[in-house]
Amino acid sequence: MMYFSIISVATLAAILPAAFGHYNFNRFIANGVTTQDYEYIRRMTHSNSPVTSVASTDMRCNYGTQANAASTKTYPVTAGSTVGFTVADSIGHGGPLFAYMSKAPGPVSSYDGSGSWFKIYELGIKNFADDKRAAAWAADGLRKVEFKLPRAIPDGEYLLRLEHIALHGAQTVGGAQAYVSCAQIKVSGGSGGNPGPMVKIPGLYDPNHPGLHFNPYYPPLKNYTMPGPKVYVG
Protein backbone atom coordinates (compact mmCIF):
# COMPACT_ATOMS: atom_id res chain seq x y z
CA MET A 1 0.00 0.00 0.00
CA MET A 2 2.85 2.39 0.69
CA TYR A 3 4.25 1.86 -2.82
CA PHE A 4 0.87 2.71 -4.35
CA SER A 5 0.67 5.87 -2.27
CA ILE A 6 4.15 7.00 -3.35
CA ILE A 7 3.31 6.48 -7.03
CA SER A 8 0.04 8.37 -6.54
CA VAL A 9 1.94 11.34 -5.11
CA ALA A 10 4.20 11.36 -8.16
CA THR A 11 1.20 11.38 -10.49
CA LEU A 12 -0.45 14.19 -8.54
CA ALA A 13 2.73 16.28 -8.61
CA ALA A 14 2.90 15.95 -12.37
CA ILE A 15 -0.58 17.43 -12.93
CA LEU A 16 -0.48 20.28 -10.43
CA PRO A 17 0.34 23.83 -11.62
CA ALA A 18 4.07 24.44 -12.06
CA ALA A 19 4.17 27.19 -9.43
CA PHE A 20 2.66 25.01 -6.70
CA GLY A 21 5.01 24.79 -3.75
CA HIS A 22 7.48 27.41 -5.00
CA TYR A 23 9.37 29.50 -2.42
CA ASN A 24 12.37 31.78 -2.04
CA PHE A 25 14.76 33.12 0.58
CA ASN A 26 13.90 36.75 1.20
CA ARG A 27 15.37 37.98 4.50
CA PHE A 28 18.85 37.71 5.98
CA ILE A 29 19.34 36.75 9.64
CA ALA A 30 22.42 37.63 11.71
CA ASN A 31 22.72 36.62 15.39
CA GLY A 32 18.95 36.34 15.73
CA VAL A 33 18.15 39.68 14.04
CA THR A 34 15.98 39.39 10.91
CA THR A 35 16.45 42.14 8.31
CA GLN A 36 13.93 43.43 5.78
CA ASP A 37 12.93 41.76 2.51
CA TYR A 38 15.86 41.90 0.07
CA GLU A 39 17.69 44.46 2.19
CA TYR A 40 20.85 42.33 2.25
CA ILE A 41 19.74 39.63 -0.21
CA ARG A 42 19.90 40.29 -3.94
CA ARG A 43 16.39 40.47 -5.40
CA MET A 44 15.68 38.14 -8.31
CA THR A 45 13.50 38.97 -11.31
CA HIS A 46 11.57 35.68 -11.48
CA SER A 47 9.79 35.97 -8.11
CA ASN A 48 9.95 32.50 -6.55
CA SER A 49 10.78 30.46 -9.64
CA PRO A 50 13.65 27.95 -9.44
CA VAL A 51 16.69 27.64 -11.70
CA THR A 52 16.66 24.36 -13.61
CA SER A 53 19.76 24.56 -15.84
CA VAL A 54 22.96 23.70 -13.98
CA ALA A 55 24.88 25.26 -16.89
CA SER A 56 23.35 28.71 -16.33
CA THR A 57 25.11 31.60 -14.57
CA ASP A 58 21.75 32.15 -12.84
CA MET A 59 22.72 29.19 -10.65
CA ARG A 60 25.01 31.58 -8.77
CA CYS A 61 22.40 33.84 -7.20
CA ASN A 62 19.18 33.41 -9.25
CA TYR A 63 17.66 35.25 -12.21
CA GLY A 64 18.59 38.91 -12.75
CA THR A 65 20.20 39.43 -9.35
CA GLN A 66 23.41 41.02 -10.64
CA ALA A 67 21.40 44.05 -11.79
CA ASN A 68 20.25 44.55 -8.19
CA ALA A 69 23.64 43.98 -6.53
CA ALA A 70 24.60 47.67 -6.27
CA SER A 71 21.33 48.53 -4.48
CA THR A 72 21.69 45.65 -2.00
CA LYS A 73 23.28 46.45 1.37
CA THR A 74 26.25 44.51 2.77
CA TYR A 75 25.88 43.17 6.31
CA PRO A 76 28.91 43.17 8.68
CA VAL A 77 29.31 39.77 10.36
CA THR A 78 31.91 38.05 12.52
CA ALA A 79 33.54 34.79 11.46
CA GLY A 80 32.06 31.96 13.50
CA SER A 81 28.77 33.78 14.14
CA THR A 82 25.29 32.45 13.38
CA VAL A 83 23.57 33.67 10.21
CA GLY A 84 20.60 32.54 8.18
CA PHE A 85 17.77 33.18 5.75
CA THR A 86 13.99 33.23 6.11
CA VAL A 87 11.85 31.28 3.67
CA ALA A 88 8.85 32.77 1.90
CA ASP A 89 6.72 30.90 2.72
CA SER A 90 8.22 27.48 3.56
CA ILE A 91 10.30 24.82 1.85
CA GLY A 92 7.60 22.93 0.00
CA HIS A 93 9.46 20.13 -1.77
CA GLY A 94 11.82 17.39 -0.66
CA GLY A 95 15.53 17.70 -1.29
CA PRO A 96 18.91 18.74 0.15
CA LEU A 97 19.91 22.22 1.26
CA PHE A 98 23.33 23.86 1.03
CA ALA A 99 25.15 27.09 1.91
CA TYR A 100 28.18 28.31 -0.05
CA MET A 101 30.51 31.31 0.19
CA SER A 102 32.55 33.13 -2.46
CA LYS A 103 35.03 35.88 -1.59
CA ALA A 104 34.72 38.99 -3.72
CA PRO A 105 37.94 40.46 -5.17
CA GLY A 106 36.67 43.92 -4.23
CA PRO A 107 33.29 45.32 -3.15
CA VAL A 108 30.77 42.47 -3.10
CA SER A 109 28.13 44.86 -4.48
CA SER A 110 29.89 44.68 -7.86
CA TYR A 111 30.88 41.00 -7.73
CA ASP A 112 29.21 38.61 -10.19
CA GLY A 113 30.08 35.35 -8.43
CA SER A 114 32.39 34.14 -11.20
CA GLY A 115 35.15 33.32 -8.72
CA SER A 116 35.51 30.21 -6.58
CA TRP A 117 32.95 28.93 -4.05
CA PHE A 118 33.18 26.62 -1.04
CA LYS A 119 30.42 24.81 0.84
CA ILE A 120 29.96 25.62 4.54
CA TYR A 121 26.70 23.86 5.44
CA GLU A 122 24.34 21.13 4.27
CA LEU A 123 21.14 19.36 5.26
CA GLY A 124 20.27 16.02 3.72
CA ILE A 125 18.02 13.09 4.53
CA LYS A 126 16.16 13.03 7.85
CA ASN A 127 15.10 9.41 7.41
CA PHE A 128 15.19 6.94 4.55
CA ALA A 129 12.15 4.97 3.43
CA ASP A 130 11.25 1.69 5.11
CA ASP A 131 8.27 -0.66 5.07
CA LYS A 132 6.09 1.82 6.97
CA ARG A 133 7.10 5.28 5.79
CA ALA A 134 8.48 7.24 2.86
CA ALA A 135 11.78 9.11 3.01
CA ALA A 136 11.83 12.55 4.63
CA TRP A 137 14.29 15.43 4.30
CA ALA A 138 15.71 17.56 7.11
CA ALA A 139 14.72 20.77 5.28
CA ASP A 140 11.06 19.77 4.79
CA GLY A 141 8.72 22.60 5.78
CA LEU A 142 11.40 24.93 7.14
CA ARG A 143 10.48 28.62 7.41
CA LYS A 144 14.01 29.72 8.23
CA VAL A 145 17.51 28.27 7.97
CA GLU A 146 20.33 29.18 10.37
CA PHE A 147 23.94 27.99 10.50
CA LYS A 148 27.38 29.12 11.65
CA LEU A 149 30.00 30.74 9.47
CA PRO A 150 33.44 29.09 9.65
CA ARG A 151 36.00 30.80 11.87
CA ALA A 152 38.96 29.91 9.65
CA ILE A 153 38.19 32.16 6.70
CA PRO A 154 39.92 35.30 5.46
CA ASP A 155 38.34 38.64 6.29
CA GLY A 156 36.65 40.42 3.42
CA GLU A 157 33.41 40.75 1.50
CA TYR A 158 31.56 37.64 0.37
CA LEU A 159 28.53 36.35 -1.40
CA LEU A 160 26.72 33.95 0.93
CA ARG A 161 24.60 31.61 -1.20
CA LEU A 162 21.73 29.50 0.12
CA GLU A 163 20.40 26.75 -2.15
CA HIS A 164 17.64 24.20 -1.78
CA ILE A 165 17.31 21.56 -4.51
CA ALA A 166 13.77 20.25 -4.97
CA LEU A 167 13.79 16.69 -6.29
CA HIS A 168 10.13 15.96 -7.04
CA GLY A 169 10.93 16.09 -10.78
CA ALA A 170 14.34 14.41 -10.59
CA GLN A 171 13.23 11.38 -12.62
CA THR A 172 13.90 13.58 -15.68
CA VAL A 173 17.37 14.94 -16.52
CA GLY A 174 17.17 18.65 -15.69
CA GLY A 175 14.09 18.09 -13.56
CA ALA A 176 15.75 19.05 -10.28
CA GLN A 177 14.88 22.62 -9.22
CA ALA A 178 17.40 24.92 -7.53
CA TYR A 179 15.94 27.60 -5.26
CA VAL A 180 18.81 30.05 -4.75
CA SER A 181 19.44 33.37 -3.01
CA CYS A 182 22.63 35.33 -2.23
CA ALA A 183 23.25 37.66 0.69
CA GLN A 184 26.07 40.23 0.66
CA ILE A 185 28.22 40.11 3.81
CA LYS A 186 31.46 41.61 5.11
CA VAL A 187 33.38 39.21 7.36
CA SER A 188 35.74 40.32 10.13
CA GLY A 189 37.47 38.38 12.89
CA GLY A 190 38.43 35.48 10.65
CA SER A 191 41.58 33.51 11.36
CA GLY A 192 42.55 33.11 7.73
CA GLY A 193 42.65 29.49 6.73
CA ASN A 194 42.44 27.89 3.34
CA PRO A 195 38.76 27.21 2.53
CA GLY A 196 37.97 24.40 0.13
CA PRO A 197 37.45 22.35 -1.88
CA MET A 198 36.74 25.16 -4.30
CA VAL A 199 34.18 24.96 -7.12
CA LYS A 200 32.89 27.19 -9.89
CA ILE A 201 29.26 28.04 -10.67
CA PRO A 202 28.23 26.96 -13.26
CA GLY A 203 30.25 23.75 -13.15
CA LEU A 204 29.14 22.86 -9.64
CA TYR A 205 26.78 20.06 -10.73
CA ASP A 206 26.46 17.45 -13.44
CA PRO A 207 22.75 17.07 -14.39
CA ASN A 208 23.29 13.28 -14.46
CA HIS A 209 24.65 13.16 -10.89
CA PRO A 210 22.83 10.38 -8.97
CA GLY A 211 21.70 12.93 -6.40
CA LEU A 212 20.01 15.04 -9.10
CA HIS A 213 18.72 12.43 -11.55
CA PHE A 214 16.83 9.49 -10.07
CA ASN A 215 13.23 8.48 -9.39
CA PRO A 216 12.39 10.01 -6.00
CA TYR A 217 9.17 7.99 -5.68
CA TYR A 218 9.94 4.40 -6.63
CA PRO A 219 11.69 2.30 -5.62
CA PRO A 220 11.51 3.73 -2.07
CA LEU A 221 14.53 5.88 -1.28
CA LYS A 222 17.03 3.80 0.71
CA ASN A 223 20.24 5.78 0.02
CA TYR A 224 21.24 9.15 -1.39
CA THR A 225 24.46 10.73 -2.67
CA MET A 226 24.79 14.43 -1.87
CA PRO A 227 25.80 16.57 -4.87
CA GLY A 228 28.57 19.14 -4.69
CA PRO A 229 31.81 19.28 -2.68
CA LYS A 230 32.37 18.37 0.94
CA VAL A 231 31.59 20.92 3.63
CA TYR A 232 34.49 23.12 4.72
CA VAL A 233 34.44 23.21 8.52
CA GLY A 234 37.48 25.42 9.04
* Residue 196 confidence (pLDDT) above 50: yes
* Residue 103 confidence (pLDDT) above 80: yes
**b/e burial code for range 77-105 (CB count within 10 A of at least 16 → b):** bbbbeebbbbbeeebbbbbbbbbbbbbbe
- What's at 109, amino acid-wise? S
Torsion of CA 119, 31, 58, 69, to 10 degrees: -130
Single pTM value for the model: 0.91
Look over the chain and give the mean of its residue pLDDT values, rounded to a whole number: 91
Residue 232 is predicted with a pLDDT of 98
Q: Residue 219 — φ and ψ, nearest 5°?
A: -70, 160
Q: Residue 103 — φ and ψ, nearest 5°?
A: -80, 125
Domain formed by 2-15+22-188, architecture: Distorted Sandwich (2.70)
Q: Give 138-185 pLDDT, tens digit per residue.
A: 999 999 999 999 999 999 999 999 999 999 999 999 999 999 999 999
pLDDT band at 21 (very low <50, low <70, confident <90, very high): confident
Residue 57 is predicted with a pLDDT of 98
* Residue 217 confidence (pLDDT) above 80: yes
**b/e burial code for range 148-171 (CB count within 10 A of at least 16 → b):** bbbbebeeebbbbbbbbbbbbbbb
Sketch the domain layout of the chain as residue ranges: 2-15+22-188
Q: Rounded to whole angstroms, what are the CA distances from 140 to 17, 72, 125, 191, 229?
A: 20, 29, 10, 34, 22
